[in-house]
Chain A
């Protein structure tokens, strides 16, 4: 969000992150003259005048009242203000200032939301110009009027949170769709899980992803709102001690702050407590759980500081979430290495099997040829020395050797020597 001074009306209308905090000088952001005129048309209908509960006749048109009740004399001088008691004006039952005060801390409402809610027919009434000028703010609003407006704020907040949530959920599911499909196919085809289990997994994964994505989007919006506002207002406060407290870290502080701002923040956002009350509650809760070590009781707590603290806490939430989710990274690494291992081992196994099979085939073929030759050469009818030796050579080729003697001469020539046998 831009600083208020830098923002145009158009910027404010288009902004969806918070309401302009400063009321003075910005009333035109939330007042709707056209809606007021429409309401006047609705109340008067075809009539030029109506009679209020006190019996006073009220004119729709101020000029008619001025003429009727002689505002000027023949010389054109103002001689009476009675016309003001008979001229209609559309008034907010609950003032814009009051509604602004209620909603300004709600990060899920924008200036245009406040304008829409403040200028609904339920918050309009017709008063005379003089009555409108003299009444104090909200004195004509009943408890029921307040309840109606609070309901409208709650409804709009819920719509906007849901919008943010849905936006985040849809984007998150879109972004994760391919992963979920891939993982589901892996479960079905590789891990052999049943179709029913796989569909269960895919359904849950989509829901979990959507919830997480929606939560993150809402959280991101809240965090941005707190960060932008805290920065602006902390700069205005200029309190160095408070800044230093905010800058401190550590689990004890986070624990204290987390506990302290829980319910108070909700009340603060809903406009149920003021800046000072919010700060007071934080201080009390903080003291109750031992914040005194961090914060002195004399410190004048200010809302901006709490805002900044909330930013720190939001950071802590994200940091914790990252830490809590680190196990998923380990799972992903183990899964990746396991898959890589299975693929590589299978590849090497196939290659090894092919190598072994080739070797066994060669063995079988060699042995078959060798024995066929040995058997054929050793039959009684045709005892063939060359064939026998060749067969033996083939057998011994399996261990890279050859037959000892290849001819009778070779054998006969060594008969006088000692035959060496080693086994």
Chain B
């Protein structure tokens, strides 16, 4: 009787274990799927923010090119009639993203796949003896589920790092937009003053002693605008030595360090 009960119990346990194992495997698959989706979304978030920041930086570059190729030559042509001008043109790399350190760090580190550890020979043999095949099947599924849970936990850290990188790109985008607007407005006023100066020189000739105070003021402000604009051309989107850039690098490096630690544990 006891033997029959034991056999019945063993068969029942085998089915129970099999069912439990399948359920755990399904749960593990769902968790892996959620984890990989989250990591994909993290990569997408970084790519999207980077593209946006690149476009806004291109916009700044366009504004600078317009000033260098159009407004400044116009100024030289007009104002050069009353004062000799020496131009020193710099080599400008308009494609450059002026936040190199953060940008280098801004490549989102991927998390290794947390694969379940295979049983060692010792674990397998003793496990089968004492837990049975169905018991070891459940053990295997437990490991798989545990690995999936780890992947999901790690994917949260990856997404958080993506949000930090996105925050830096947002800052670059916002600053770029403001610089572009400033250059555009300054340029509009500069062109107006060049035009006014051209009229004054046309009306009064090149002898500035014949100019009224108002005329002199216009010409002085024309030079002031020209020099000011050349200085604004050098304004950085983010100053590499400034507090914001330092904090950005620190923030991204912190996330990098955490992701490296997680990867090290996974690959142990």
* A residues adjacent to B (C-beta < 8 A): 154, 191, 251, 254-255, 258-259, 262, 316-317, 320, 323-324, 327-328, 330-331, 333-335, 337-342, 344-346, 348-349, 351-353, 355-356, 359-360, 363-364, 367, 371, 374, 378, 383, 385, 388-389, 392, 395-396, 398-399, 401, 403-405, 408, 411-412, 415, 417-423
Contact = CB atoms under 8 A, between A and B. Distances in A.
Nearest to A414: B83
Interface stretch (B39-47, B55-63, B197-205, B227-235): B227-235
B152 interface: yes
B121 interface: yes
Contacts of A398: 182, 232, 235
A404 B153 CA distance: 58
B123, B217, B226: which has the most chain A beta carbons within 10 Å? B217
Interface string B224-259: 111111111111000000011001101100110011
A423 B160 contact: no
Given A320-B127, A423-B230, A154 B2 contact: yes
28 contacts: A317-B126, A320-B130, A327-B146, A327-B147, A330-B150, A331-B147, A331-B149, A334-B153, A334-B266, A338-B153, A338-B157, A345-B160, A345-B251, A346-B160, A352-B167, A355-B243, A356-B170, A378-B221, A408-B213, A418-B84, A419-B83, A421-B86, A421-B230, A422-B89, A422-B230, A423-B87, A423-B89, A423-B230
Contacts of B259: 341
B141 to A, nearest CB: 12
A251 B121 contact: yes
B146 A328 contact: yes
A423 B117 contact: no
Contacts of A333: 265
Contacts of A191: 152
B160 A342 contact: yes
Contact of A415 (B83, B178, B217): B83
B217 A399 contact: no
A364 B178 contact: yes
Contacts of A403: 224, 227-228
B78 interface: no
A405 B154 CA distance: 59
Main secondary structure of the interface of B (DSSP, over half): helix
Nearest to B116: A327
Contacts of A389: 221, 224
Nearest to B229: A423
B225 A392 contact: yes
A359 B182 CA distance: 15
A334 B262 contact: yes
Contacts, number: 227
Interface residues of B, number: 91
Given A345-B255, A349-B251, A352-B251, A421 B85 contact: yes
A323 B181 CA distance: 64
A388 B139 CA distance: 79
A297 B18 CA distance: 41
A405 B161 CA distance: 48
Contacts of B189: 374, 378
Given A251-B121, A335-B149, A385-B217, A330 B265 contact: yes
B40 to A, nearest CB: 17
A405 to B, nearest CB: 5
B186 interface: yes
Contacts of B261: 337
Contacts of A251: 121-122, 125-126
A19 B103 CA distance: 75
A395 B232 contact: yes
Lowest 7 CB-CB distances: which A-B pairs, in order?
A: A341-B258, A423-B230, A258-B129, A338-B153, A404-B227, A411-B220, A341-B157
A355 B244 contact: yes
Given A385-B220, A398-B235, A422 B254 contact: no
Contacts of A352: 164, 167-168, 171, 244, 247-248, 251
Given A356-B244, A408-B220, A258 B251 contact: no
B223 A419 contact: yes
A173 B116 CA distance: 27
A320 B227 CA distance: 79
A355 B247 contact: yes
Contact of B88 (A363, A412, A422): A422
Contacts of A401: 228, 231
Contacts of B120: 323
B68 interface: yes
A324 B84 contact: no
B208 interface: yes
Interface in B142-184: 143, 146-147, 149-150, 152-154, 156-157, 160-161, 163-164, 167-168, 170-171, 174-175, 178, 181-182
Contacts of B213: 408
B191 interface: no
B90 interface: yes
Given A335-B153, A396-B231, A401-B231, 12 more contacts: A337-B157, A340-B258, A345-B161, A345-B254, A352-B168, A352-B247, A392-B228, A399-B232, A404-B223, A408-B213, A418-B84, A420-B88
A348 B178 contact: no
